[in-house]
Structure 1
Amino acid sequence: MSLTQQYLLDTHRARVHGEPEPPEPGAGVVALLGALRERRRFRAVLAGRPASGRLRGILARRTP
């Protein structure tokens, strides 16, 4: 059974029994990745390394 089929079955069962529906598969993945990125950048600053990223690169190229 695929992940989508299992989700649809769980959703149907929840509706039949009057329970709240389960969260969609992968609902928290984007938030988790963002939190991991922020943690990595915070630890880099604590370790004394400069923050990196697209914006910093653009600003570094534009400043004389």
Structure 2
Amino acid sequence: MSITQQYLLDAYRAGQHGEPAPPAPGTHDARVVREWRDERRFRAVLAGRPVGGRLRRALGRRGPRPTL
């Protein structure tokens, strides 16, 4: 059973019992990712590490980009 099918079944059952429908799949994905990122930044500050920009620093260490 796919996520969509399970959601539709749960929504149908909730409607039959007069309960509110569950949130649709993916509704809170952005919020979860944002909270995860904030938690990582918070832990980095507590550990005394730089908060962000690791990818940009790593790419900057490679030197100038070759021109085509």
Q: TM-score range by the shorter chain?
A: 0.5 to 0.7
Cα deviations by residue, 1:43-63 (Å, 9 ceiling, x for unpaired): 11122222214xxx6xxxxxx
Residue 12 of structure 2 corresponds to which residue in structure 1?
Answer: 12
Whole-Å Cα distance in 2 between the matches of residues 32 and 19 of structure 1? 25
1:19 alignment partner AA = E
Say whether 1:32 aligns with 2:32.
yes
Say whether 1:44 aligns with 2:44.
yes
The unaligned stretches of length 5 or more in structure 1 are 58-64
Whole-Å Cα distance in 1 between the matches of residues 17 and 46 of structure 2? 50
Structure-2-length-normalised TM-score: 0.63
Runs of 4+ more than 6 Å apart? none
* Cα RMSD (Å): 2.2
Cα deviations by residue, 1:9-61 (Å, 9 ceiling, x for unpaired): 111121122111111113232212111111111111122222214xxx6xxxx
Question: How high is the sequence identity, in percent, across the aligned residues?
Answer: 59
Structure-1-length-normalised TM-score: 0.66
Matched positions, count: 56
